[in-house]
Amino acid sequence: MSLREADVDAADVEAVRRQLGREPRGVVAVAHRCPCGAPDVVETAPRLPDGTPFPTTYYLTCPRASGAVSTLESAGLMREMSERLADDDELATAYAAAHADYLRRRATIAEVPELADVSAAGMPTRVKCLHVLAAHALAAGPGVNPLGDETLEALDPWWANGPCTGQDAP
């Protein structure tokens, strides 16, 4: 366990455990909180405790948000976004910058040689996971990941009915 993992609040880890329905792995921080107060994105170590390289630095944990993003994926949004990347140089440049941001942020946690140029979600040339893009956009803030921002804009407010954990947020 790294020093950062030791600093994660136990109530947040428990909330994430309830959200995922399993023990979270490699959590180093809560990267974003839902407006209800519960974690909805965690930052994970690029190498899991068992030694496995793990490129998904930003992990969307809220089951309501995750379900809503899955609906967008099944509706074909990833394919549409990938097609736009091929045709829109400005979007492709902004998405490549999001990839670089992702790599930079992950490097502040740890360097994992196996993941040197690998971010997540297909960045920088395609879209293969809206969950990661939304999580990155929430963690980094608006304007960093254009396709993550678009994903978030397409969602209804998943927090409107209160915490997804079934109790008050930590």
Domain tally for the chain?
1
pLDDT of residue 94: 98
pLDDT of residue 156: 87
Q: What is the pLDDT along the chain (170 residues), one digit of tens a residue?
A: 333 445 789 999 999 999 999 999 999 999 999 988 899 999 999 999 999 999 999 999 999 999 999 999 999 999 999 999 999 999 999 999 999 999 999 999 999 999 999 999 999 999 999 999 999 999 999 999 999 999 999 998 888 887 787 655 55
pLDDT of residue 166: 64
Tokens 């068992």 belong to residue: 50
Judge whether 159 lies within some domain.
no
pLDDT of residue 1: 37
Judge whether 110 lies within some domain.
yes
Conformation bin of residue 51: beta by default, left when phi > 0, alpha when psi is -120 to 50: left
pLDDT of residue 2: 39
pTM value surpassing 0.75 = yes
Judge whether 16 lies within some domain.
yes
Tokens 């976004």 belong to residue: 81
DSSP state of 29: E
* Spatial distance between the Cα atoms of 36 and 75, rounded to a whole number of angstroms: 27
Judge whether 158 lies within some domain.
no
| Secondary structure (DSSP) of 79-99 | HHHHHHHHH-HHHHHHHHHHH
pLDDT of residue 4: 47
Judge whether 168 lies within some domain.
no
Judge whether 129 lies within some domain.
yes
Judge whether 30 lies within some domain.
yes
Domain that holds residue 134: 3-153
Judge whether 169 lies within some domain.
no
pLDDT of residue 6: 53
